[in-house]
Every structure is written in C-alpha cells, then in structure tokens.
Chains A and B, each alone.
Chain A
Amino acid sequence: MIKFSNVSLIYPNSTTTVLENLNLEIAEGEMVLVIGPTGSGKSSLLRLINGLVPHHTGGILAGDVSVDGISTQLVKPGGMAHLIGIVGQNPLNGFVTDTVEEELAFGMENLNLPNDVMRKRVEEILDLLSLAPLRNRTIATLSGGEQQRVAIGSALVTHPKVLILDEPTSALDPIAAEEVLSILQRLVHDLSLTVVIAEHKLERVIQFADRIVYINGQGETKIGSPEQIMVDSPIAPPIVELARALGLHEIGTTVREMRRMTQNLRDMKYESVEPATTSNKSLRIKIDSLSVSYPGHNAVKNFTANIHGNEIVALMGRNGAGKTSLLKAMAGIAEHAKGSVEVSGVNPQSLKGKSRRESIGYIPQEPSDLLYGQSVNLECEQADRDNEVRPGTTAALLEQLVPGVSGHTHPRDLSEGQRLGLALSVILSSNPQVLILDEPTRGLDYQAKRELVSILISFAQSYDKCVVLATHDVELVADLATRVIFIADGEKVADGTTLDVLLSSPAFAPQVAKVMSPHPWLRVRDVTAAIEIS
C-alpha cells in the first residue's frame, strides 16, 4: 500500500539528514508504529506519506514515496485526499469549521461528493466513533478526547485506504486514549485500513502494532516486529524494561504475554516492605474549601487539601476534570476562585514580582509561554538578573538538566524536551518554595522523562520543598509522585499514597502493576528490589 524506495530527506539550512536511504513497504491492513527520540523525524516520516513533506515544508527528497501506486512527487497532498487521511499532532489547529457535523462534511465537500452520499457517510462516522450525541456541538467546546475523535472521523469520512496519526494520545487521559486506540484497532480489523502512528507513550500503543519503525535521529532506521525491535531498543515501555530486568529470554509486549512468562515469579512468597514513613514537614500549601467557577460550569468544587514539604503530588483525572483550574488557583491566578488558598502562609494572589518568583514556580502547559528571549543565552541572563543570582547560575542549571544545548539557539528551535528544560531552569533559578507543573510530559520521550523525574525528586527532597503536577501519564506518576489526588468533575475522589491510589483502579494502574498484580509493585525497580530481598 505504502512504498518508500531509497528515501533520503534533508531540510534546507540543516546539516543533518532526517532520513537516509529508507526502504519500507507497508501492506494493506497493517498497523505500523513509528518510534524515536524527540526531534528524530517521526513527524517528517509521516508527512512524507501524503506529500506534505516536501510540498509544504520544503526540503530535498531523494528516492520515491508512493501510496497505492501514486507517487507523491507527481501529485500534491490535495490529490491524495481521497486516499490518505491524516490527523496532526494538535487536532484543534486543523479544524476548519465550527461544528462537528460540518467538520465531518468538509473533506467530502472538497471532493465534490453528492449530497445524499455525504448524508449517509456522516451518519456512518457519527455511529462508528460514537459522536452522534455531539453532532451539533461547537468543536471548541469539546474535550480533548472528543476533539481527537472528531479529527479521526473527519479523516475517515472520505473512506481513505491509509490513516496517519501523529501522537494521537499525547493529550489524552488513559481512558480516552484506550478508547481512541481500540477504535483504530477495530478499523484495521474490520475495514483492513492501513494505519501509521507515531507515539512516545509506547505503553499505550505497542500491543496494537504489527511492525515498528525505529528512527535514531541520525537518519538511520530499523524496521521489524515489536519483539525484534524491543530486544535492544533504547526506547522501551516499562513492560519491556521489566522483561529485561528479570532476564527473561523472550520479550512480551502485552500484559497477557508478560503475565504468562512471569507466572513462577509471581507465585513465590515475598516479604512485604514497609513503606518509609516520612516525618512531618512544614506545611507548604493549604487549600480550604476552594471553588472555581466559570460562567456555565464549576471547574473545582469545594476542594480541601494540605500539601507539605518533600511531597510530590500528582493531580490526575479525566480531560476537563478541573486539574488546570486547581493548579491556577494554587498559583493565585484563577479568576472567580472562592475559598482560601495559602502558599507558605501567604495568599498567592497578593504575590508580585520577586516575592512571587521566590515562593511559586509555575510551568504552564505550553512552556514556551514563559520564554521571550531571542536566544537561550539571553533567556538565562535575564533570569539571572531578575533573581539577582550570580551570572551563569541559570545556564549551569540548564546544562545539568539538558546537557549540550547551544547558547545561541533560538528557544523556538529547541526540541520539546529542551524547551521544557529551559523553562524549568529559568523557574528553578529563583529557588521557589513550591513548584507547579501542568502536563509536563507532553511530547517528551522516555530519556527526557527520566531526567525530569530525577530533577524533580532531588528538588523536592533536598530543600523541604513541594512539587505539584497535573498529568495523564500513569508511568510518570508511578516513578515520581509520593501522593496522588484524583479528581473527577472538580471534586476530590481519591487522595492517598501513589501505591494505594494507582492500585485501586485498573485503568490508572501502571503496566508493571498490571503484570505483577496482586503484588503491590508499581515500578521495575520495586520488582527487582523485592526479588533481591527474598
């Protein structure tokens, strides 16, 4: 169906090749997963398929890409519209119309399909993706998962033979992600649709993939079955890390396979490890019956919690459950907030300038909102000046967080992980008492996530400070958090240690816990530690 022959790609003003001599044939009805570190060219590979690269982006393409016998060199992306559906990284940016129904019809109107055909297909897609109750809704008011479904629906409605998705689950909570992926799985099986997905969160998609394309960032690619690639891939989900740590000679990519392989291991007796009790630390954040309401709905309802030093608190919950509103209220920037919030004994709304920088550090969903310098160096110098610290402090922090960033780079040209690192070092240079992060792992690969985890843990432990983060990433929570607060529809549903909260709900359990259930282990190192002791 899709054929890459001797494809090499290089962008203008760049010295490194994105892809080098790639040969790949994808058969009809195959589901192919593209993996690689951030900035390695996954998106470029996807956009080569319908010719957006190089028709839209520029760049020199050698070799040939053809889909169903049509070469992208001869046909523009529009000419492939009946053949290929593509869903971009941020679906909201790609919506052309206002309402769900009109958005679904847009592609068909372009292809000049007759009205009765359009009516039939819109109904079909509304049913297939369970969008029928949303048909007349304004797209901007839908939740992230619903928007993702609309984007997939509007790509499918022209009956393409190939569907391309760029990080379809990165912004979704585990349940919504599961929903989207199982729909894709069904389409592959029922309609023999060919699907190509790029995704960082391998734990969510690997069990669906027939083959994996691994791009290493220097243009080299490796293609094989998930088991073949996962033997020595530096990018691996926790389930594979577990198989490696246990020294299993086979690698399983699904929970079911891994449970079969670890049957003996689970049957053994283990001493239960008492969790280390933490001594009472100073109270950092005190929230008392907080409510945040916007016209039309209440984002946070009557929320009470105390957060102490040394704690790393993860806020979890569905898309639109009120996590961001809660974080904003903690930082003192939520409008229409009722109730009281105190950060180190002070109402955060009254904080300004230097005293704000020294008490609260906040990283928003888009870390680039914080950055306005023309280069990394200028940004670091500005932070040094603002916080009256020794010149070079911020740059040193950055070097520790993400080594090897050139000081002359424009912040816009950094990779997602590097940009987060820069924003984090700017914030940390003022040495705040409380660090708040909103969805920090969107678009981060495993390597960058590991670094983030070690920085945040050392920040929280060494100076009696606290970290609060909102995230959908269950594996990150298992690695990082000491406590989890679960909210639904603005109300606190669960509040307890990470172990208790994550183990109590199967949808939010990390992979290792699913494999090792009923043993209370969340991470690979929990398993190895327990085995060593007994």
Chain B
Amino acid sequence: MKKPSLHPLTWWIWAGLLAIAIIRFQSTVLSLLCVGAVAGLVFWLREDAPWGRSFTWTLKLSLWILMIRTVIGMLIGVPIPGNTVLTLPIVQLPSWMPGIRIGGAVTSERLTSALSEGILICAIILIFGAAASLTSPHRLLRTLPVYIYEFGVSIVIATSALPQLVTSVSRIRQAQLLRGQSSRGFKSWKRIAIPLLEESLARSLDLAAAMDSRGYGISSKRSRYRPIKLSYLDSFVIIFSIAVVGVS
C-alpha cells in the first residue's frame, strides 16, 4: 500500500491542534491513547532518514521528563490527603516560605496526580516530536515564503548538522575504544570533543563554501523546482483536527 504523503505544514498544524485538544480534555487515558496512535502513525510513515529517527529520541526524552516530574511531584508540593504509601523525612524550611513542603507523607493521590500531569506534558512533547520526525526540515523550508529563506537556511544547516554530529560521536568513540581508551567519564568526553569540534567546523566551512560557489543568495528572487502544493487529503486532515478541537 502506498503511504499517503502530506504537506509538511499539515503535520505541524495537526500537531498543534492535537496538543490543544489534549490540554482541553485533561484526560490521562485519552492522552495515552493519543500517544499510542501517534507512535503507530510515526513508525508507519516515517522515512529512513536522520530526521525520521528523531521520534525515538523524543520518546527517550519524554520518559526522562516523566520520571523527573514524578519524583519532584513526590518531594515538593502541596500535601493531598489520602492513603499514605510511604513517608519521606520532612526538610525544615524557613518561616518565610509558607505552604511549601519538601518530603513528608506520599499519598497515592499525590502520586497519581504527579503521574497524570507528567503524562500530559509528555504527550504534548511526543506529538511535536512526531511532527518533526515526519517532515524533512528541507521540505518544510521550501514551503516557507522567500523572504524568510535566509533565516531558514541557517536553521537548516544547524538541524542537518545535528544528526551528523550524532554519527560522528559514535564513530570517534569507536575509534577511541580501539585505542584501548574507556568511553566513560568526563575525560573521555574531552577526548571525543576535540576531534568532533574539528570535524564539524571543517564540515560547516565546506558547506558554506559550496553554497557560496553555487550562487546561493546572489539573486534576491529564487525560483522553485517542484513547489509543494496542498492536496485534498491535507485539507481533510486539517478540517478534521479543527473539528476535534471544536468539540472539546
């Protein structure tokens, strides 16, 4: 089956509207369902390209955020009465900080509220992560109006440098491992950082020279090869998303 291809802007509008819906509903179950559906969509539609892999990174990031959010929610906050699960020692705070408590009894109600808030935040991050991994930054750039093109290109160079940086790190790390150096700890980062910096600097200079010698920016007008147009599917997805937000 041919994968449907949507306009890059559609994905971003869709992500924005979905995020609004999630905030409006404030429902953990619904957000979890949403995340599941979005993940399925991403694994089905994403391309095998550096930006396609960014969803996995967002997934890892949001799990970290969920964990940190829950731990902090347990430690700090307004006490919620209920069944006590465990009791942490209370840290005495000065009298000018009333109403805030660090430590103390952790009730199951407090745990669930921290968790569900965390899930809401993560769902929103994941939805935008999905939009990022479904649209090539270069394609997105081409749909933007010409007058912000200059600004856009510097962003594109930055975004295309990032995935390359990741591959370079693993390559250099491997080489250092072969020299019998450990790949952990602060010292190993210094060993990796120096060749890495050198390489990315050389690469950006190469790219700048290449763009310059291919006449980038010499004409105030740019023509477009194969402009990307909105299709019926695009309008359908956008109208449907707006309807969902409207209902909520």
Contact = CB atoms under 8 A, between A and B. Distances in A.
Contacts of A111: 215, 218-219
A368 B198 contact: yes
What DSSP secondary structure best describes chain B's contact surface?
A: helix
A346 to B, nearest CB: 14
Given A115-B224, A353-B182, 11 more contacts: A52-B209, A55-B212, A56-B208, A84-B213, A88-B209, A96-B211, A98-B136, A109-B223, A110-B216, A364-B175, A369-B172
Contacts of B174: 328, 333, 364
Interface stretch (B6-14, B80-88, B99-107, B188-196): B188-196
B212 A77 contact: yes
A45 interface: no
Contact of B217 (A101, A110, A368): A110
Interface residues of A, number: 67
Interface in A81-127: 81-82, 84, 86, 88, 90, 93-98, 101-102, 105-115, 118-119, 122
B175 A107 contact: no
B192 to A, nearest CB: 8
B182 A78 contact: no
Contacts of A372: 176, 190-192, 194-195
Contacts of A101: 225-226
Contact of A90 (B178, B195, B206, B221): B206
B68 interface: no
Interface residues of B, number: 46
A140 B49 contact: yes
B129 to A, nearest CB: 20
Residue picked from A55, A96, A368, most chain B C-beta under 10 Å? A96
A369 B49 contact: no
A50 interface: yes
Given A52-B212, A78-B218, A98-B138, A370 B176 contact: yes
Nearest to B153: A96
A220 to B, nearest CB: 27
Contacts of B210: 86, 88, 93-96
A354 B180 contact: yes
Contacts of A353: 180, 182
3 shortest interchain CB distances as A-B pairs: A81-B215, A94-B210, A105-B225
B214 interface: yes
Interface string A19-42: 000000000000000000000000
Contacts of A352: 180
Nearest to A98: B138
B60 interface: no
A80 interface: yes
B215 A98 contact: no
Given A112-B222, A362-B178, A78 B212 contact: yes
A255 to B, nearest CB: 35
Contacts of A94: 206-207, 209-210
A369 B222 contact: no
Contact of B175 (A56, A113, A296, A370): A370
B207 A93 contact: yes
Nearest to A83: B215
